[in-house]
Structure 1
């Protein structure tokens, strides 16, 4: 069992990275109270964390090549632990942003690319497939267990304990760092491409910022945007500016390669079909998973009225089956190729999404919902068991950190895209369904309909019906018409949820197009 000691250390770090965001998301309402601020301020803190991680992931991978992967992993964990301690003790909002968004984000940008490369360097053949299955499964477990753990601690104790506990876990991992074999370190003598780092970080930051803020700023027509561009929302302009910088980054990197200098990213890697497919599928998987984990908690908390802990309990089946499927995925490669297993996983996910779609009703069927979540975990677990191994096995030893940076960048982009895209579709569908509901209702007067239409145009929110009822009472809407509006809003909520979930099903179907170049051969049975 000694050969699995390194995986225990690496798996603990992976779980920690994923758990962090899930806990923060479920603690938003308590953070608003503790820091005497608004939801938008806490959302900005969460957005900044995603920006920092996505922007510096590629650079973090290259630093791993320069310092050595185990050393970069240890330094990143140290930075992350410091950030966790600062977060746990934050007295004001800006300190929370510094500790969690900036310091932890920079630490994670060092840890994750090195982690991916260390798994590949520590294991070969089927052992490597098992290791990546465990890592992928733990990612899913962290996403699902985060709301459960965070909800319980936040509800009955304090959210600060989670981050204090993370700092303790980091210390334990650092003490066990020797379990990772030193030969996994390359310690390559490379020069960091400063210009490339700035261009890639700025480009990725702007793209992710635009995607994340699209639901609040508006995609084309401005909503709650800080400024406008020619009367339009800044969203597409920010994304376009990021794309231009990434185009300049690519041109700069190709120029460095042509001169025989060390680039930040070898764009020649993208000529590897398996790498391209693996990265595309990682982005797709993260988009689907985070999109669903944005929509489903809203259904449970806002529509059904469950608290954070009750919501976490109902998400638990996903983590259990995802871990089991991820662990068994390597054994299945004896009878099926990674391409086949990923395609089977997509089919299973489609079944789960259709099942979930049928269960979006005013009154939840707990058994049916649990089974749908369990099936979703099986599909996600099959993908998680294959994709990390596909990406790392498609490159050579000297390119593993670079591939790790690309791998985690794809996942971060998918995560932000899933939350923003599915969130924007949900709000748009909610507004459209609500307008349709009240337009054909003869019991609502034209004056009230016009008043509501103006409010919806200004920006509709996915909130509990009790909050809507209070708003209608404040606006002095007659009680009989207010009840009609409440009924219409409740029905529109369910319609919006269904359209958002259906969109994730469409993305899942589109994912089949990216499986073409995944390895079609079964993995060797050799162990190390």
Structure 2
């Protein structure tokens, strides 16, 4: 994907419409899920942590299957496989629309994730096959902005529909987008597949199992226990929770995957992913930065809708308005940040981006309160959106420009694995972190509050209450012998501890963002017009 001569032949932008809308399709689906949390919780009568499994399942399926999907695309042919999985994605939207239970919704997102596991590398590979030079750079920027604009439209349209109609119509929009993508896919050009390519099944099983175990482990740290197994754990190992065991085994399997892949490459065999896309420290730094920035975005996109809809009991439209400053800023920044590439190297932009996200999260941890429309809160979300938008586009551009075009599918699978594993882990960790902090806060508050005697706490098991609204808490307490004064005191605990949990959670995220400045400082120092030819001879930094 090196720079081409200024006399390059200009290609039609029609193929980009299909790829742009394919990214919109996936991103709109992902952005619609947090807005649907309140509706899914209410309609199916499940806890928020169960409803959020739809988000985790999508990311899990993509991350576990994307490397295999990339090789399948190379074998079958990118355009053909692209059309097939777009139809599959449309089927997942139908499952969401008609789902009679939360299990069906989770299954729908598993199907969507399996389809996206091939769409993600397809987009990168088809950009490489359809565009060159400056048109390719423009196409990459368009894909980054597509992801951002999907968040804006999903929160705005989804919030309105969720308030006036319900959460299901959002996935009718997903179905409609899939139909349009399929129609425009006939403008795409691609080489035929290579039937001689063999998919490394051992590597597929190793990386798939590693990602499944890592995600399940992180997602269930709170429910199954961070160390000792709880009653909710499906099993225990000598009293130990399976969650940390899954995480450890997942890390081990991941290392075995890398060892196996390096061995195959040394023997001259085709690997599941060509690890030369990670040869240099610049590319590894881009992957680390991508993981952290996507995980931070997932945490924010889960935390704020959870707090507004479940804790405050407000509508999805309120959620869309609260998230609008963030999503709109991400879109604008992702679109405009390419203008800075001519003046500043990726390293400078990356470090500045993480400095902005860190400062914004620290600021929000101090100023956020029960009113999301305050100027300080909006300012914090805007600053966070600027850093987020710049980083998402930047790290993607670094990975694509650093690899030769024949490795486009491998870059796409690496991007898909990193982004979706980060999104799944970010959502899971956010849920576990907030519920754990909430439990500690409520336990301390009920001990310290004079209006909440131990007898009342024993009746409602208040320190085990999950994220619920004040109205739901009043309904629970109405079934006890609590006095009006005690009910008011419990509601006060509900408000204060949950707000305190949110603030502390944001502060912890700020610490993670600050740590990410280190890998960002390892991003390339060159400007676009100085990018070397990404051939094997120049990829040894």
Report if TM-score (shorter chain) is over 0.5.
Answer: yes
Q: Work out whether residues 73 and 81 of structure 2, in 8 Å CA contact, stay in contact via their aligned partners in 1.
A: yes
Q: In 2, distance between residues paired with 1:386 and 1:45? A: 28
- Residues 148 and 334 of structure 2 are in contact (CA less than 8 Å); yes or no, is this contact kept in structure 1? no
Q: Is the 8 A contact 1:227 1:233 kept in 2?
A: yes
| Structure 2 CA distance for aligned equivalents of residues 513 and 303 of structure 1 | 35
> Would you say the 8 A contact 1:68–1:188 is kept in 2?
no
TM-score (norm 1): 0.90
In the alignment, the residues of structure 2 paired with residue 490 and residue 36 of structure 1 have an alpha-carbon distance, to the nearest angstrom, of 22
> For 1:266-415, what aligned pairs fall within 5 Å after superposition?
266-415=274-423
Q: Aligned-pair distance for 1:43?
A: 4.0
Asked if the contact 1:274/1:518 (under 8 Å) is kept, the reply is: yes
Q: 1:374 to 1:188 in 2, by over 3 A?
A: farther
Which of the residues 452, 470, 489 maps onto 1:484?
489
Aligned length: 521
Match of 1:69 in 2: 78
Shift of 1:13: 0.8
C-alpha RMSD of matched pairs (Å): 2.7
- Find the partner of 1:177 among 161, 172, 185: 185
8 Å CA contact 2:57–2:424 kept in 1: the answer is no
Contact 2:470 2:494 in 1 (8 A): yes
Look up the SS of the partner of 2:289 in the other structure. helix
Distance 1:352 1:5, change over 3 A: farther
| Superimposed CA distance per residue, residues 316-365 of structure 1 (whole angstroms, 9 cap, x where no aligned partner) | 12222212111111111111111111222222222322332232223444
Corresponding residue to 2:39 among 14, 30, 37: 30
Alignment partners' CA distance in 1, 2:55 and 2:224:
16
Q: Which residue of 1 aligns with 2:471?
A: 466
Q: CA deviation at 1:502?
A: 0.8
Shift of 1:372: 2.4
CA distance in 2 between partners of 1:127 and 1:409 (Å): 26
SS at match of 2:516: helix
In the aligned structure 2, how far is the partner of 1:293 from the partner of 1:41?
Answer: 16
User: Are 2:203 and 1:220 equivalent residues in the alignment?
Assistant: no
Gaps of at least 5 residues in structure 1 are: none
Given candidates 93, 99, 103, the residue that maps to 1:84 is: 93
Q: Distance in 2 between matches of 1:20 and 1:345?
A: 26
Q: Encode CA deviations 1:233-291: one digit per residue, 9 max, x unaligned.
A: 21111222222332332333233223321111233443222221111111011111111
1:523 shift after superposition: 0.8
Aligned: 1:4 with 2:9: no
C-alpha separation in 1, matches of 2:15 and 2:440: 52
1:133–1:384 CA contact under 8 A, matched in 2: no
CA distance in 2 between counterparts of 1:85 and 1:43 reads 19
Match of 1:53 among 57, 62, 67: 62
Does the CA contact (< 8 Å) of 1:62 and 1:264 recur in 2? Answer: yes
Kindly indicate whether residue 201 of structure 2 is the aligned counterpart of residue 194 of structure 1. yes
CA distance in 1, matches of 2:80, 2:342: 35
* Counterpart residue number, 2:426: 418
Q: Which moved more, 1:336-345 or 1:363-372?
A: 363-372
Q: Would the aligned equivalents of 1:148 and 1:308 in 2 still touch at CA under 8 Å? A: no
Gaps of 5+ in 2: 1-9, 532-541
Indicate whether 1:257 and 2:265 are aligned: yes
Task: Work out whether residues 215 and 420 of structure 1, in 8 Å CA contact, stay in contact via their aligned partners in 2.
Answer: no
Residue 205 (structure 1) aligned to one of 200, 205, 212: 212
Distance 1:228 1:81, change over 3 A: same
Mapped contact 1:112–1:404 kept (Cα < 8 A): yes
CA distance in 2, matches of 1:498, 1:218: 23
Q: Could you tell me whether the CA contact under 8 Å between 2:293 and 2:388 is conserved in 1?
A: yes
Shift of 1:171: 2.4
1:432 maps onto 2:432 in alignment = no
The answer to whether the 8 Å contact 1:53/1:108 transfers is yes
Q: Indicate how the Cα distance of structure 1 residues 44 and 226 shifts in structure 2: closer, same or farther if over 3 A, else same.
A: farther
Q: TM-score, normalised by structure 2?
A: 0.88
> Is the 1:291–1:418 Cα contact (8 Å) retained in structure 2?
yes
Summarize the Cα distance change of 1:177–1:238 in structure 2 as closer, same or farther, 3 Å threshold: same
Do the aligned partners of 2:34 and 2:302 also contact (CA within 8 Å) in 1?
no
